[in-house]
């Protein structure tokens, strides 16, 4: 890891949430990233031109909270044009894995190093922040990100515009059971929404310099208000999160082969065997993923014919 260029607190939280609630419960944060030169529209347009096409996903911002992923409306513009016209394009876009770009990687590591220090650790490694990744969101006014869950922990920072971020407590499986969790991790992130979930909600109303911490697998949906929005998700995976994700992937593959599987944790000895097998297989496949063509083929094999749904016009 590069030496951090700045370890002054970038993210702060009131009521000792960084030590009391982290990493188990969502909470509001403040940050100092709005106006950062890597997070402006012109720089993001440049980034969209540089990034491999399969790391950019975009569609109409006119989506429902409970959105069927097969019925998402598309936007007939190229990625750079979407960013440049975001105030009027009626679009939602995510640039995935921006940590592949060295300047963005330094930014993400600086932020998480400041969190690690605030929590009494020397570094991201000591704090358990592994697999650091960044997802940069650009969306038009009045856009909706459908209800979904993400298989990582996340500091979500609002850089520009007004956003409502509503997160739901699923710790008892009352929103998404183990089968739905596996589906979200391995197939598509979206989850069906029902009004009965509302008592489980916490809403964060954010402007620039606001943000929130979203724990692993807490379902959420997001909407922008009357201005265009830029946001950054700063994510990582602890060892335990990687372990659970890997087990879900392996279980999903076995289930696809007609072999029903117990959820992770139900049979720890068998989990250990599955993990070893899965990680050996992945070590063979992983180097192939450097190629965009191979990534598309691997997604197609792992996820089925709709795996590359967001690339259908490319």
For the CA atoms of 202, 23, 56, 223, what is the dihedral angle to 10 degrees? Answer: 10
Minimum CB separation of residue 136 from Fe ion in Å reads 13
Minimum gap (Å) between residue 307 Cβ and Fe ion = 19
Q: Does 208 bind Fe ion (CB under 5 A)?
A: no
Q: Which residues contact 281 (CB under 8 A, 6 or more apart)?
A: none
Query: Which of 99, 150 has the CB closer to Fe ion?
Result: 150
Q: Which is nearer to Fe ion, 114 or 145 (CB)?
A: 145
Q: Which lies closer to Fe ion via its Cβ, residue 100 or residue 189? A: 189
For residue 150, the minimal CB distance to Fe ion (Å) is 4
Residue closer to Fe ion by CB (options 147, 249) is 147
Integer Cα distance of 246 and 249 in angstroms: 5
DSSP state, residue 12: E
Whichever of 117 and 148 has its CB closer to Fe ion, that residue is 148
Q: Cβ of residue 301: shortest distance to Fe ion, in angstroms? A: 25
Provide the 3-class DSSP secondary structure of residue 31. Answer: strand
Count of residues that interact with Fe ion, criterion CB under 5 A: 1
Give whichever of 22 and 135 is closer to Fe ion, judged by the CB atom: 135
For residue 97, give the nearest of 214, 232, 190 by alpha carbon.
232
From residue 127 to residue 166, the character string flagging contacts with Fe ion as x (rule: CB under 5 A) and all else as - is -----------------------x----------------
Site string for Fe ion, 82-101 (x = CB under 5 A): --------------------
Minimum distance between the CB of residue 220 and Fe ion, rounded to whole angstroms?
A: 6
- Interacting residues of 138 by C-beta distance below 8 A, sequence separation 6+: 41, 44, 82, 83, 86, 91, 93, 95, 228, 229, 230
Angle, nearest 10°, between helix axes 268-285 and 239-256? 90
CA dihedral 287, 275, 109, 169 (to 10 degrees): 130
User: Which parts of this chain interact with Fe ion (CB under 5 A)?
Assistant: 150
């Amino acid at each position: 890891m590069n030496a951090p260029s700045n370890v002054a607190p970038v993210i702060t939280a009131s009521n000792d949430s960084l030590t009391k609630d982290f990493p188990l419960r969502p909470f509001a944060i403040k940050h100092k990233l709005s106006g950062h030169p890597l997070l402006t529209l012109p720089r993001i347009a440049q980034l969209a031109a540089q990034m491999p096409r399969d790391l950019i996903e975009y569609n109409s911002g006119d989506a429902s909270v409970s959105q069927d992923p097969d019925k998402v409306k598309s936007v007939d513009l190229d990625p750079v044009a979407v960013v440049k016209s975001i105030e009027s394009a009626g679009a939602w876009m995510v640039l995935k894995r921006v940590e592949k770009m060295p300047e963005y990687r330094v930014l993400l590591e600086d932020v998480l190093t400041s969190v690690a220090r605030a929590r009494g650790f020397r570094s991201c490694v000591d704090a358990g922040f592994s697999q650091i990744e960044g997802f940069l969101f650009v969306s038009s006014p009045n856009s909706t990100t459908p209800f979904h869950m993400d298989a990582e922990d996340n500091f979500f920072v609002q850089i520009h515009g007004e956003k409502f971020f509503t997160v739901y407590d699923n710790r008892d499986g009352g929103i998404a059971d183990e089968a739905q969790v596996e589906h979200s991790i391995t197939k598509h992130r979206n989850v069906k929404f029902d009004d009965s979930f509302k008592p489980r909600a916490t809403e964060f109303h954010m402007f620039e310099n606001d943000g929130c911490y979203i724990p692993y697998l807490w379902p959420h949906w997001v909407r922008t208000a009357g201005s265009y929005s830029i946001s950054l998700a700063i994510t990582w995976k602890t060892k335990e999160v990687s372990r659970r994700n890997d087990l879900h992937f392996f279980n999903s593959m076995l289930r696809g082969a007609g072999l029903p599987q117990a959820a992770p944790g139900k049979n720890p000895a068998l989990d250990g065997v599955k993990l070893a097998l899965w990680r050996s297989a992945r070590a063979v496949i992983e180097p192939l993923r450097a190629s965009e063509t191979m990534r598309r083929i691997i997604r197609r094999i792992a996820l089925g014919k709709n795996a590359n749904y967001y690339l259908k016009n490319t």
